[in-house]
Amino acid sequence: MSPTQVSLRELPHLGTRHLGQIGGLLRPGTHASPLLEFGERFVITPPGFPAMLVTHDMDDVRELFANHEDFSVGQVLSRFSSHDMMFGKQSLIFLDGEEHRRERRLFGPPFQSKALRSYEDLMVEVVERELPKWPVGEPFEFLTAGYDLAIGVLLGVVFGAVAEERRDRLRQAVIGWFGEIESRGFLAVTLITPLIGGYTLPYPPLRRRQDEVDAVILEEIAARRVAPDGGSDRRDVLSRYVGTELDQHDDVALARNMRGILLGAYETTAITLGWIAAMLAAHPEAMAELDTAIDAGDDGRLDEYLDAVVAETMRLRPVSPFTGRRALRDTVINGVAIPKGAIVIVPILLIHESPQHYKDPLTFRPERFLTDRPNGHTWLTFGAGAHRCLGASFALAEARILFRTVLRQRRIAAIDGPIEAPRRFHTGLSPADNARITLLPR
């Protein structure tokens, strides 16, 4: 170690009595956390876990995200949860180095801005289909609507036009699989995983559900290989792979990756849609801005302000309030020596709530993003670096298009009182009352 380097041993260490306070960094109001007295870097070593450096020193964060060779995000996920079983160890987030770069090049294009425009009509159609089912003038849980919108868009965008009978089987298989992921049995497996060194116990019911989804996807891939354009001008994600230069996997791997994309996109999108609705209900002044744009027929202003609402919601309620990387070898970030196996945690929400980066950080003020778009270092809802969310542009466009379509037909009634609280005992941030709002006619 060079003399100017600092080792983890030399940084402040949290004692056992402080460990219970870590949760305070994962919930809104992070700046009231007593842990901030330890400074921008501190180390935690819960019994049985590798050393973890928690840092919100922005030079550390920048260097960490820029260093794709020495760190793995998948190894953090599999150490703390059963994500490897849910996604499969061959899915993008579990790959590192050159293998990850190659797969990212292959799976990225359908989610980049050039392709996004072609999904817009489908997103509008999904809202037109779902919106009549939602009550008007009485409270309902927008999170549930968010899940229906998210799955409708995903199945449509990823698979496009699928023969009706097969489409219904696919939907049922996917819903059954998501249900199994949320089952008590799998929850128990997930909770045990971090306590037994990151080993995920076998859980055959989930395997069966995954196989059911893969079987229908494989059928669809086989059908496309026989009739690639299905008689129409296909623009869905699967068609952008099958028979194109991106088609470099065997069908089993392609099906597994399509399934992985569904999982990565589903809950994150639904929860974000829920939070946007909850934020608009709690901030009538923002809703009034949108009403003005809609009443004036000013689509440009509507989209611009909606983008700002989405960015501001995701700043204050990032679905994942932290991310992390595990060192694959001994390495150094910004002068701190990180031994192989140690984990570096980036407290995203704490950075988002910092007065160093945002003026009046706890106030919901979409206007801050009208002139300045979110900054890739201090707005980290989609992570950063080589593993930054593959669907980030897609998710942002989707939120704008879905809400634009909803709000042209409905208004969101103002609520008295604070923003809905996040669910307790949940590592992610999800609205505790399922984003309870009231829609009014427009």
Chain residues in the site for ligand HEM (CB under 6 A): 73, 92-93, 104, 111, 261, 264-265, 268-269, 272, 319-320, 323, 381-385, 387-391, 394-395
CB of 320 to ligand HEM, least distance (A): 5
Separation of alpha carbons 337 and 2, rounded Å = 9
Separation of alpha carbons 348 and 325, rounded Å = 13
Nearer to ligand HEM by C-beta: 28 or 385? 385
For residue 62, the tally of other CB atoms under 10 A from its CB is 16
CB of 292 to ligand HEM, least distance (A): 26
CB of 387 to ligand HEM, least distance (A): 4
Nearer to ligand HEM by C-beta: 25 or 294? 25
DSSP track, 319-335? SSS-EEEEESSSEEETT
CB of 111 to ligand HEM, least distance (A): 5
Residue of 288, 276, 282 whose CA lies nearest to 401: 276
Nearer to ligand HEM by C-beta: 13 or 388? 388
Q: Which long-range contacts (CB under 8 A, 24 or more apart) does 202-206 make?
A: 203/82, 203/85, 205/180, 206/85, 206/86, 206/177, 206/180, 206/181
N-terminal to C-terminal alpha carbon distance within the chain: 65
CB of 146 to ligand HEM, least distance (A): 10
Nearer to ligand HEM by C-beta: 5 or 112? 112
Separation of alpha carbons 56 and 380, rounded Å = 12
CB of 261 to ligand HEM, least distance (A): 5
Q: Judge residue 28's burial from the number of C-beta atoms within 10 Å of its C-beta, 0-12 exposed, 13-18 middle, 19 or more buried.
A: middle
CB of 95 to ligand HEM, least distance (A): 7
Nearer to ligand HEM by C-beta: 54 or 395? 395
Separation of alpha carbons 322 and 427, rounded Å = 9
Nearer to ligand HEM by C-beta: 26 or 92? 92
Half-sphere exposure (Cβ direction) of 293: Cα atoms closer than 13 Å: 17
Nearer to ligand HEM by C-beta: 198 or 391? 391
Nearer to ligand HEM by C-beta: 255 or 319? 319
For residues 115-144, one letter each, b for 16 or more C-beta atoms within 10 angstroms of the residue's C-beta and e for the rest, the string is bbeebeebbeebbeebbeebeeeeebbbbe
Separation of alpha carbons 335 and 324, rounded Å = 18
Separation of alpha carbons 297 and 100, rounded Å = 45
Residue of 228, 224, 227 whose CA lies nearest to 216: 224
What backbone phi and psi angles, to 5 degrees, belong to 427? -75, -30
Nearer to ligand HEM by C-beta: 325 or 365? 325
CB of 185 to ligand HEM, least distance (A): 26
Q: Judge residue 171's burial from the number of C-beta atoms within 10 Å of its C-beta, 0-12 exposed, 13-18 middle, 19 or more buried.
A: middle
Q: Is 39 left (phi over 0), alpha (psi -120 to 50) or beta?
A: left
CB of 153 to ligand HEM, least distance (A): 9
Nearer to ligand HEM by C-beta: 67 or 381? 381
CB of 93 to ligand HEM, least distance (A): 4
